[in-house]
Structure 1
Amino acid sequence: MSDDLRELPLRERKKLRTRRALAETALRLFTERGYDATTLDDLCDAVEVSKRTFFRNYRSKEDVALAADSDLWSAYLDRVAVAKLDGPLLEALRVALNATLEDMDPDWERRFLATRELSESVPVLQSHSLGYCQDTTRAMVETLAGRSGTGVDEPCLRLTVEIFVASWRTACLRWTAQGGQGGRDGLTDLIERTFALLPDALTCTA
């Protein structure tokens, strides 16, 4: 039994196992058969659960396809909500991202890379991914704005979060294009190198 399940109550362990089985099987079927060719009935039959159980875990076929994304950003938002935020906010957000990546389950980067590659090849997933990114950005702004002591006015806060998200997306796209080279460490390294480019990007001339 994995360490992240061992301490949970039995009911929660079963629920998490089902959620993971749906996400893992969906990713396999979408990759092998094609996203459009795989129905929710196919997925539910493969995992041996009802559609009712599916919809208790995911809102849609698009959601289960992008489960590795939502796993990361749900964990990240939870961390930011309680993290000690000292010094430059952009750096604090980057440090929180590195810590979140470290805490993801051992198989996460394989699933995430497969998810990114699938998303790039399926237009409806590209659209859903952009919408999810927008929702996550909004949630991050709201979470930080609700933190007492943040002391950043709303326009500056929103701009900081947008820069953070753009930096993440730039690093993530490079990592995906490189076939996930270096695994999680490679992704973390690209994130740090991308953030280091921000001063040059702000003064870049046409």
Structure 2
Amino acid sequence: MATPTTAADPQPVGLRERKKRRTRDALVDAAHRLFLCHGYGRTTVDEIASEVEVSQRTFFRYFANKEEVALAVLAEAEQAFLEFLRARPARENPLEAMRGAVREVWQAVDRGQESGPAALELFELIESTPTLLAAHLRHAIQQEVEVARILAEREGLDPAADLRPRLLAAVFGTVVRISHLSYAAAPDAADHSMDGMLELIERHFDQLGPALAGSWR
């Protein structure tokens, strides 16, 4: 069956959406290149739009500001993590479910446009830019709340009365952030692969139990 069209807009809906997605992706890619080359503060919205050969008005159809375009890739990864977490098998305990969801996110990134080194450069940019870091940490807190809600639903708990979902969500988010930063800071970061990134995250999670409950001596 053909995709529906209207007299006012003869393009198929699917084609319109694909073109919009291509424009959005191009703006994100251009913004990242300019941020990494010239710095976040020195890059303007006009420069990002010009790089893609669109108007400033077009840019603002997709993003409210530079901050939003800078964090777009991470925002999509965070949303994907929530979707993967909701879909994890019910037999998995909360930590197993979150570890599985993280693996799925990075595997999806590996299959997509954002390469491992580019993603790691993005983490470094955020950490070194106070405005972006503050925004990222705000988003991280919001993410923790949503993760805790999903975990509570999976386990049949009341998140307002049971602290475990929120505590685990906060610890989990911190482990992932530390893993990303450790990997990005390694001397041979440019040669890193997604497999290596996942291996490091898994090693950090393997240490979570001993760090919280075991003796350090």
TM over 0.5: yes
Distance 2:71 2:14 in 1: 26
1:46 to 42, 45, 51: 51
- Structure 1 window deviating more from structure 2 (130-139 vs 48-57): it is 48-57
Q: Distance in 2 between matches of 1:54 and 1:181?
A: 33
Could you report, residue by residue, the CA deviation over 1:134-160 in whole angstroms, capped at 9, with x for unpaired residues? 122222223344x4x522342111111
Q: Deviations over 1:146-179 (max 9, x none)?
A: x4x5223421111111121111112111111112
- Alignment CA distance shift 1:63-1:85 (3 Å): farther
1:189 and 2:194 aligned? no
Q: Which has the larger radius of gyration?
A: 2
Letter in 1 for 2:107: E
Partner secondary structure for residue 91 of structure 2: coil
Question: What is the root-mean-square deviation in Å for CA atoms of aligned residues?
Answer: 2.1
For residue 10 of structure 1, what is the aligned residue in structure 2? 15
User: 1:177 — aligned with what?
Assistant: 185
Deviating more after overlay: 57-66 vs 186-195:
57-66
TM-score by length of 2: 0.82
Consecutive unaligned residues of structure 2, counting only runs of 5 or more, are 1-12
Q: Larger relative contact order (C-alpha < 8 A, sep ≥ 6)?
A: 1
- 52-61 or 67-76: bigger deviation: 52-61
C-alpha separation in 1, matches of 2:150 and 2:190: 30
**SS of residue matched to 1:49:** coil
After TM superposition, give the deviation of residue 181 of structure 1 in Å: 5.1
Report what 1:93 is aligned to: 98
**Residues 171-192 of structure 1: CA distance to partner in whole angstroms, max 9, x if unpaired?**
1111111126532111100110
Pick closer, same or farther for the CA change 1:27–1:79 going to 2, 3 Å. same
Deviations 1:182-206 (A, max 9, x none): 3211110011000000122113559
Q: When the two structures are superposed, what TM-score results if normalisation uses the length of structure 1?
A: 0.86
Q: How does 1:31-42 map to 2 (within 5 A)?
A: 31-42=36-47
CA distance in 2, matches of 1:84, 1:12: 32
State the shift of 1:84 in Å: 2.3
- 1:120 is matched with 127
Q: Is the 8 A contact 2:116 2:192 kept in 1?
A: no
Distance 1:194 1:81, change over 3 A: same
1:83 corresponds in structure 2 to: 88
SS in 1 for 2:155: coil
For the residue of structure 1 that corresponds to 2:157, the secondary structure is coil
Q: Is the 8 A contact 2:176 2:201 kept in 1?
A: yes
CA distance in 2, matches of 1:181, 1:189: 15
Instruction: Check conservation: 1:27, 1:114, Cα contact below 8 A.
Output: no
Give me the identity figure in percent.
36
Partner residue of 1:165? 173
